[in-house]
C-alpha cells in the first residue's frame, strides 16, 4: 500500500509539469503589465538600460518553451563585434555591449582580430579599450589610437591566451578562497568577466567573510554593478548580498559563459522562459506579485490557512451529515424520510453554490447576524457537498443492501440496526470516500466563491483581486498550488479507499505486480 501511495505521488510529478506547461502558455498570452514594449532582435539590447534590465529580469528575451539557438557569450560577442567592425547605426549599443561582456568575450573576439580589415580591426580594438582599463592594463588614452590598440590586443592575446581557460580560472579562484591575497585578487581582476562563473559559484560555497568581501569586490569591479561586502558585515547583510549576486547570475549567466556540446542540448530547454520559471518554482520562488510587490510565496502562506480551514471544516461537516442522511434514506427507501430528504438533496444539488451563498448572506443581513461570516461561508460550502455526498451514500447503500450477505444477516435474525450499521454501512462507506476525492476540485472552486461572497481574506478572495489586476504570477501560482493540493488529496483518498476495502487493495497491489507493502 505504501508503495502504491509513493508511486501515485511520483506519477503526479509529470502530471504537474504538464499542467504547468499549459498554464504557463496561457499566462504568456496575457500582456504583462510590467513588461516593456518592443522586442526586436533577441540579441540587440535595448537603448535604455533600465528597460533592458526589466526585459532580461522577466526573461522576455527568451522564447517560451524551446530555444533552438540559445545565445551565449560567443554569439553575443560576435553580434557586437560585427556591428562595431561595420561601424553602423548600432555601433554605440554594440560597443557598450562589448564593454559589458568584457573579458569573457575576449576568447571569441581576439583570435579573429587579425583576419579583419584594418579599419574594422582598429574600431574593434578601440571599443575594447574600456575593458583593458578595467583590467588595469592600460589607460583609455593609451588605446585611443586604432593602430596602437590593435597592436596592444594582438600582443595581449599572444601572451595571455593560456590564462583564459576554464581550468585556469577555477584554479585561481580556489587558490583565492584558500589563501586570499591582494595579488591573487588582482590576478582575477586581470581576467575580467571571464572569472565571473567561478567567482559567483565560489560565493555560495564559502562562508569566510574575508573571502566573500574579496569575491564580491571582484564581481562588482568587473560587472560594474551589485553589492560588495565589508569584512565586518552582519550575517543578514551577507546573505542578502550573496542572494543578490546569485539572482543576477541566474539571469545573466549566459552573457559570460559559452554553451557547448551537451550543455547546448540542455540549454535548448533550460534557456527558455518556462525553463527559468520552473527552475525558480522548484526552489520555492514563485515570483513577485504585480499588485503589491510582495513575494508570492509569503502571500500564499498568509492566505492559505483561511481557505484550507473553510474547505476542510465544510468537508467534514458535510460528511458528518451526509453519511447518516444517505444511509438512513436508503435503509427506509420510499418512506417519508427518504422521499423528503431525496427531494431536498436534489434541490440543494441543483442550486449553484454562489446563489446559496448570496441567499445566506442576505438572510443573515436581514436577521442582523453579524460577525458570523466564516460560519456562513462554511455552511454554504458544506451544503453543496452535503447534497452530493448524501446522494452518493444513498446509492452506495442501496447497492449493498441488494446483496446476499445482507439478506443472510436479516434471515439469521441479526437486529436490524446491526445489519444496517455493521453489514451494510461499513461496505457502503468506501465509495463515498472516493467521491470525496472527486469532490475536491469542486470544493476548492466553491471555496473561491464563498470567500468572495463573504469577503473572507483567503486565497480565493485574493485571486479575484489578482484577476482584476492581471497579476499572472499570482494566478499561475494559485492554480498550481490548488493542483498540487488536489492531487495530494486524490492520492490520500485513493489510499484510504484501499485501506477501507481489501478488494481494492488487492486489485491495486496486483496491478503494480508486487506484494502488499
Partner 1 sequence: MSGERRISDAPDGSVAIDLSRRKDAWRREAVRESLHEVGNVAAPYVTMTRIAIAQLSRSRLARLGAVVLASLALVAVFADLLASELPIACRWNGVVYVLPNVTHPAALADATCAREAKARWPGDWTLAPLVARGPTETAEDDEILRPPLTRGHPLGTDALGRDVFARLVHGTRTALGLGMAASLALVAIGVLLGGIAGFVGGVLDSIVTRAVESLTAIPTLVLVLVVVALVPHPTTATLLWTIALTRWTDLARLVRAEVLLTLGTDYVTAARALGASPSRVLGRHVLPNAIGPAIVAATFGIASVVLVEAAVDFLRVGSPDTMASWGEALGEARANAGAWWLMVFPGAALLVTLIALNLVGEAARDALDPKLRGVGEELTEGMRG
Q: Which residues bind partner 1 (CB under 8 A)?
A: 11-12, 14-16, 18-19, 22-23, 26-27, 29-31, 346-347, 349-355, 358-359, 362, 365, 384, 388, 391-392, 395-396, 399, 431, 435, 438-439, 441-446, 448-449, 452-453, 463-464, 466-468, 470, 472, 475, 478-479, 482-484, 486-487, 490
- The smaller minimum CB distance to partner 1, of residues 225 and 346, is found at 346
Minimum Å gap between C-beta 318 and partner 1 is 13
Q: DSSP for 297-359, please give it.
A: HHHHHHHHHHHHHHHHHHHHHHHHHHHHHHHHHHHTTTSHHHHHHHHHHHHHHHS-HHHHHHH
Q: Which is nearer to partner 1, 157 or 354 (CB)?
A: 354
Q: Measured from the CB atom, is 30 or 161 closer to partner 1?
A: 30
Handedness of CA 411, 412, 413, 418 (dihedral sign): negative
Report the nearest approach of partner 1 to the CB of residue 472 (Å): 6
Q: Tell me the C-alpha to C-alpha distance, in Å, between residue 321 and each of 93, 262, 390, 423.
A: 71, 60, 8, 20
Task: Check the CA dihedral 391-392-397-399 and report its sign.
Answer: positive
CA distance 4 to 322: 29
Q: How far is the CB of 457 from partner 1 (least distance, A)?
A: 16
When the beta carbons of 123 and 391 are compared against partner 1, the nearer one is: 391
Closest approach of partner 1 to the CB of residue 402, in Å: 12
Please identify, using beta-carbon distances, which residue of 207 and 312 lies nearer to partner 1.
312
Nearer to partner 1 (CB atom), residue 62 or residue 491? 491
How much is the CA Rg of the chain, to the nearest whole Å?
33
- Tell me whether residue 16 or residue 416 sits nearer to partner 1 (CB atom): 16
Q: How far is the CB of 369 from partner 1 (least distance, A)?
A: 15
Distances, alpha carbon 498 to alpha carbons 389, 393, 395, 505, in Å: 19, 18, 20, 4
Number of alpha carbons in the 13 Å side-chain half-sphere of residue 17: 10
Helix axes 459-469, 426-454, angle to 10 degrees: 50
Provide the grid cell at 296: 508570492
- Tell me if 189 sits within 8 A of 218, measured CB to CB: yes
C-beta of 18 vs 266, nearer to partner 1:
18
Alpha helices in 102-165 (DSSP H): 106-109, 118-127, 129-135, 146-160
Cβ 468 to partner 1, closest distance in Å? 8
CB of residue 6 to partner 1, shortest distance in Å: 16
Q: Which is nearer to partner 1, 72 or 494 (CB)?
A: 494
What 3-state class would DSSP assign to 459?
A: helix
Q: Looking up cell 585556469, which residue turns up? A: 168
Give me the least distance between CB of 451 and partner 1, in Å please. Answer: 11
Q: By C-alpha distance, which of 340, 430, 443 is closest to 393?
A: 430
Residue number with CB closer to partner 1 (137 or 304): 304
DSSP per position, 198-238: HHHHHHHH---HHHHHHHHHHHHHHHS-S----TT--HHHH
CB of 199 to partner 1, least distance (A): 40
> In the complex, what is the shortest distance from the CB of residue 422 to partner 1, in angstroms, rounded to a whole number?
23
Q: Give dist(CA 432, CA 457) in Å, integer.
A: 31
In the complex, minimum distance from the CB of residue 292 to partner 1, in angstroms, rounded to a whole number: 17
Burial profile 485-513: b = 16 or more Cβ within 10 angstroms, e = fewer: bbbebbbbbbbebbebbeeebeebbeeee
User: Whose Cβ is closer to partner 1: residue 44's or residue 348's?
Assistant: 348
Cell of 366: 436581514
Beta carbon nearer to partner 1, 82 or 351: 351
CA distance 279 to 405: 56
Taking the complex as a whole, how short is the minimal distance between the CB of residue 142 and partner 1, in angstroms?
Answer: 55
Angle, alpha carbons 194-199-205 (nearest 5°): 155
Strands (E), 226-274: none
Amino acid at each position: 500500500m505504501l508503495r502504491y501511495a509513493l508511486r501515485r505521488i511520483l506519477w503526479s510529478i509529470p502530471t504537474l509539469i504538464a499542467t504547468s506547461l499549459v498554464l504557463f502558455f496561457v499566462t504568456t498570452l496575457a500582456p504583462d503589465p510590467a513588461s516593456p514594449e518592443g522586442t526586436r532582435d533577441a540579441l540587440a539590447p535595448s537603448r535604455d538600460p533600465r528597460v533592458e534590465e526589466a526585459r532580461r529580469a522577466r526573461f522576455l528575451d527568451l522564447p517560451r518553451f524551446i530555444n533552438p539557438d540559445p545565445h551565449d557569450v560567443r554569439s553575443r560577442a560576435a553580434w557586437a563585434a560585427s556591428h562595431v567592425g561595420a561601424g553602423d547605426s548600432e555601433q554605440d549599443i554594440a560597443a557598450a555591449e562589448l564593454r559589458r561582456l568584457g573579458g569573457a568575450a575576449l576568447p571569441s573576439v581576439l583570435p579573429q582580430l587579425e583576419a579583419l580589415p584594418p579599419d574594422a580591426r582598429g574600431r574593434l580594438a578601440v571599443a575594447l579599450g574600456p575593458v583593458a582599463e578595467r583590467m588595469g592594463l592600460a589607460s583609455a588614452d593609451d588605446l585611443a589610437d586604432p593602430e596602437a590598440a590593435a597592436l596592444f590586443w594582438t600582443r595581449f592575446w599572444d601572451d595571455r591566451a593560456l590564462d583564459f581557460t576554464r581550468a585556469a580560472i577555477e584554479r585561481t579562484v580556489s587558490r583565492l578562497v584558500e589563501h586570499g591575497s591582494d595579488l591573487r585578487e588582482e590576478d582575477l581582476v586581470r581576467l575580467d568577466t571571464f572569472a565571473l562563473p567561478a567567482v559567483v559559484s565560489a560565493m555560495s560555497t564559502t562562508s569566510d567573510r574575508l573571502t566573500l568581501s574579496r569575491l564580491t569586490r571582484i564581481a562588482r569591479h568587473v560587472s560594474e554593478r551589485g553589492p560588495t561586502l565589508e569584512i565586518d558585515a552582519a550575517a543578514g547583510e551577507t546573505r542578502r548580498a550573496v542572494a543578490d549576486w546569485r539572482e543576477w547570475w541566474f539571469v545573466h549567466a549566459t552573457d559570460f559563459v559559452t554553451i557547448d556540446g551537451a550543455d547546448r542540448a540542455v540549454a535548448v530547454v533550460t534557456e527558455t522562459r518556462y525553463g527559468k520559471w520552473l527552475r525558480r518554482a522548484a526552489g520555492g520562488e514563485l515570483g513577485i506579485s504585480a499588485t503589491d510587490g510582495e513575494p508570492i510565496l509569503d502571500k500564499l502562506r498568509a492566505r492559505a490557512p483561511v481557505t484550507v480551514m473553510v474547505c476542510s471544516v465544510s468537508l467534514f461537516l458535510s460528511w458528518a451529515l451526509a453519511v447518516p442522511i444517505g444511509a438512513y434514506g436508503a435503509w427506509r427507501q420510499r418512506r417519508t424520510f427518504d422521499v423528503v430528504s431525496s427531494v431536498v438533496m436534489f434541490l440543494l444539488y441543483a442550486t449553484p453554490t454562489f446563489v446559496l451563498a448570496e441567499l445566506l448572506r442576505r438572510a443573515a443581513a436581514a436577521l442582523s447576524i453579524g460577525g458570523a461570516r466564516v460560519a456562513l461561508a462554511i455552511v454554504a460550502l458544506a451544503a453543496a457537498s452535503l447534497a452530493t455526498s448524501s446522494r452518493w451514500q444513498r446509492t452506495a447503500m442501496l447497492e449493498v443492501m441488494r446483496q446476499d450477505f445482507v439478506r443472510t444477516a436479516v434471515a439469521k435474525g441479526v437486529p436490524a440496526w446491526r445489519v444496517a450499521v455493521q453489514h451494510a454501512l461499513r461496505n457502503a462507506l468506501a465509495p463515498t470516500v472516493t467521491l470525496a476525492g472527486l469532490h475536491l476540485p469542486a470544493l476548492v472552486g466553491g471555496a473561491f466563491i464563498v470567500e468572495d461572497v463573504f469577503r473572507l481574506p483567503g486565497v480565493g478572495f485574493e485571486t479575484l483581486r489578482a484577476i482584476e489586476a492581471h497579476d499572472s504570477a499570482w494566478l499561475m501560482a494559485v492554480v498550481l498550488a490548488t493542483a498540487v493540493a488536489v492531487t495530494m488529496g486524490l492520492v490520500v483518498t485513493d489510499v484510504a479507499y484501499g485501506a477501507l476495502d481489501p478488494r481494492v487493495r488487492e486489485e491495486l497491489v496486483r496491478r503494480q505486480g508486487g506484494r502488499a507493502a
